[in-house]
Structure 1
Amino acid sequence: MKSLTVTCLLVTVSAVFAKLHPLSDEFIDEINAKESTWKAGRNFEIGDYDLVKTIASGSLGIGDREPLTFTIHDESEDVPESFDSREAWPECADVIGLIRDQSRCGGCWALSAAEVMSDRICIHSNATKKLMVSSQDVLTCTSDFGCSGGNVDAPYKQWNSTGYVTGGLYNNSLQGCKSYFLPECDEHPTKCTDYVDAPSCVQQCDDTSLNYSQQYTYGLKHTWFSNEKQIQLELVKNGPVGSGIVVYEDFISYKSGIYQYVSGDFAGSHVIKIIGWGVENDVKYWIVANSWNERWGENGYFRIKRGNNECGIEHTAIAALPDFSRF
C-alpha cells in the first residue's frame, strides 16, 4: 500500500508540473487567468507549432556590432502623450498602415526593413513618392539569409550601398517591380502548414516591360536608437523604425491589449515595426505592426508595454532615411 501511495503521489506531482503545450486551450486559459493587461486566444492550431517557431525566429540579431553608433536626439525635447505615424502623416497612412504577411517564411527581418523604407520614402517626399520597397528583393538579394532568418541591420546597409527595387504584395505588379513570392495566409493556418525557403535572387521585374535598373531606391546610412525617448523622438521627426523582440510562447496567442510577458518559454527572435505609442489605464505602450497578417492580434498590430524594454524592444531600434539624390 505504501508503494502504491508513493507511486500515485509521483504521478500526481508529474501531472501538476507537466508543461502545457504552448498552443493548447489550457495554456491560453492559463495566460488569461493571470489577468494581465492583454488577452490571449487561438491564432494557430497545435500541429503548427514548428511552423510558428520558424516565422517567429527570423532575426539573427545584429550583424555588424562595431561600431554601433546611435543617433542622439536632444532628450530635453518634449514628446506628446500619444503618437501614431498614420495620423501624423495622413497622406501616407495607406503605406504606413499596410500589414504585410510573411506567410510560411522566416522573413520578418526583410519585411520589417522594406516597410520602414517604404514609409519613410512617402513621409520624406511629402507623399509625392509612394513607392513600396520590395520585401522580395530584400529577402532574396541580401546576402544568403532568406527564410531562415537575417541580420536586422543587413537590409539597411545594402539599401545604402546597392539599393533595392520597388515591389509589393503577392502577385501585384501594380505595386512595383518585384512582388512577394508567397500569398497571404487567408485561412491561416490550414493553408500555411509547410515551411518554405526563399527563391534565388532574380534581377528582373515581374512585368518584363519595366526597366529593372530604373526601379531602384536607396537609403542613407542607418542609425540606431537605444531607449524609449530616443525612439519616440525619432518617430516624431522621421517616421516608423524597425526593432527586434524576443518572442515567448504566450505572445503567439496574443489577441488584444497591451502585451507583456506572463508565461511560457523562449520561442524565437523576431523583427517588427514600431509606428507610435500611447497610454491606456496608466499603462504605457508602443503601437507595433507585425507581419503575421491582419487576422492576428489587433488587425495585424499589437501593443506592447513601453518604458521597461519589454522583450528587448527598446534595446536596438533601427532606421534610415531615403537618399532621393540617387532615385
Structure 2
Amino acid sequence: MKTTMAELNVALIVIVCAISTGARAIQNPFTDKFINQINSRQNSWKAGRNFPLHTSNKFIKNLAGTIKDAYLPKLPQMKHGDELIGSLPDNFDPRERWPNCPSLNDIRDQGACASCWAFGAVEAMTDRYCIHSNGTKQFHFSAQDLINCCETCGLGCIRGVHTAAWLYWKQVGLVSGGNYKTNDGCKSYKIPPGLNGTSNAPYFKETVDASQCVTTCDSNDIDYSQNKRHGKNAYSIDYNEDQIKLELFKNGPLEGVMAVYTDFLSYKTGVYNQTQGHILGHHAVKILGWGVENGHKYWLVANSWNQHWGDEGFFKILRGVNHCGIEDSVVAGEPIIV
C-alpha cells in the first residue's frame, strides 16, 4: 500500500507534536510525577518539593551560573603529603572541629541572580578567615562586592568564573557584607531571596542588575578601602579524592563546581546520585567535609538556595567518582588575617 505525501506530512506533524509534548512534560521538574519517578529509580536519596510548581524557567536557569573556565590550569596546584591520609576519619564535619566558627552553619541565598560562582567563593573565604584565626576573628566576605567589582570574573548576575573570584580576592581584596537587608558589614547583598517551600508565591522572574561597582560602603561609618581583606594565595586542588580530603581537614571548606540536572532541584536527604532529567548548567558550591551513609561515600556540601532547600540548605553527593564533575575544578586559598 502506497503512502501519499499528504499522509507523510500528517505523520510528521503527529511525531513533532508528540516530541513537543514530551519536551514540555520534562521542562517542569516540580510535578509529583517527576518527583515520584526519582524516588522509584534509586534508594540513595530522597526527592521532594523545594520549589513551587510553576517556578519560572528563567529563575531556574539562574540557579546554575558558573562558567567552567581556562583559569584553573593557570593556578598553582596544592599538593599535600600523604602521611595523614591513613589517619583521616571516615566522617569529617568541620562544624565539629571548629565550633567557634559559626559561618560553617550559614546558608546564604543567591536569589534571582546567577551568582553561585561568587557565593561558593565568599562562603569558603569567610569560613577560612575564622579557621585560620583559630576561631578568634569573624569576617563575612561580601558576595555583592565580588559580583559588582570583579571585572575578570564574568557578568555578575548573568554568569561568572569561580577561579577568577579567588584571584580577585588575592590581588584586589573584598570587603565585608551581610545577607539581604541585614545592613551588616560594608556592603550587604542587594538581591532579594528566592521563595522556597510549598507556597504558590511567584519567584522573582527577572534578574536584578548588579553590574555597577560602588567603592563606598552602605554605612558612612565604614571605610571601603580599609575594610578590605585579602587572600595570601589562590590555588587549585589536585583532582584526587585524598588531596581534597586533606585540604578540607587542614584548611577548611573550599569551592567546587558541579553539573546541575533537573532532579537535583528536588533533593531532600541522602546521598545524591544523578538519576534523571536534563542538565541546567554548572553550579558552584562550598564543599565542607565527607562521610559515609548507608554504604555510600559522600561529600558534605552547602548550597546557596537558602535554608528551606534540601537538608536545611545542605546536601550530600557521591564521593570519589567525580560525580557531576564536582571533584575536577576545586579551588581555595589562605586568608591574610588582620
Q: Same fold (TM over 0.5)?
A: yes
Aligned-partner Cα distance in 2 for 1:74–1:187: 43
Give the match for residue 48 of structure 1: 55
1:60 CA drift (Å): 0.8
The answer to which of 246-255 and 57-66 deviates more is 57-66
Report how far residue 46 of structure 1 moved: 4.1
Separation in 1, partners of 2:286, 2:72: 21
What residue number does 1:177 align with? Answer: 186
Establish whether residue 74 from structure 1 lines up as the match of residue 84 from structure 2: no
Q: What corresponds to 2:218 in structure 1?
A: 206
Greater shift, 105-114 or 64-73, is seen at 64-73
Point out the more displaced range, 74-83 or 179-188. 179-188
Amino acid at match of 1:54: K
1:195 matched residue in structure 2: 206
Report the Cα offset of residue 35 of structure 1.
2.9
- What is the CA RMSD across the aligned residues, in angstroms? 2.4
Quick check: 177-186 or 120-129, which moved more?
A: 177-186
**Residue 302 of structure 1, aligned match among 315, 320, 325:** 315
Structure 1 residues 86, 65: closer, same or farther in 2, change over 3 A? closer
8 Å CA contact 1:110, 1:139 repeated in 2: yes
Q: CA deviation at 1:191?
A: 4.7
Decide whether the 8 Å contact of 1:54 with 1:195 is kept in 2.
no
CA distance in 2, matches of 1:55, 1:240: 24
For 1:192 and 1:115, locate their aligned partners in 2 and report how far apart those are by CA, in whole Å. 24
Report what 1:129 is aligned to: 137
Output one character per residue of 1:171-207: Cα deviation in whole Å (capped at 9) or x when no partner.
222x310000023335567253313132411111111
1:94-173 matches, within 5 Å, as 94-143=102-151, 145-173=155-183
> What is the correspondence of 1:234-245 to structure 2 with a 5 Å cutoff?
234-245=247-258
Per the alignment, residue 85 of structure 1 pairs with 94
Query: CA separation in 1, counterparts of 2:115 and 2:206?
Result: 11
| Cα distance per residue 1:92-121 (max 9 Å; x no partner) | 0x1111100001111101111111111010
Q: Give the deviation of 1:236 after TM superposition.
A: 0.4
Structure 1: gaps (5+ residues)? none
1:127 CA drift (Å): 1.9
- What is the CA–CA distance in structure 2 between the aligned matches of 1:162 and 1:63, rounded to whole Å? 20
Structure 2 residue runs of 5 or longer lacking an equivalent are 4-10
2:232 aligned with 1:220 = yes
Following superposition, the deviation at residue 65 of structure 1 comes to 4.1
Q: Is the contact between residue 103 and residue 292 of structure 1 (CA under 8 Å) also seen in structure 2?
A: yes
Do the aligned residues in 1 keep the contact of 2:52 with 2:196 (CA within 8 Å)?
no
TM-score, structure 1 normalization: 0.90
Corresponding residue of 1:263: 276
TM-score by length of 2: 0.87
Q: Does 1:24 align with 2:37?
A: no
Whole-Å separation in 1 of the counterparts to 2:206 and 2:122 = 21
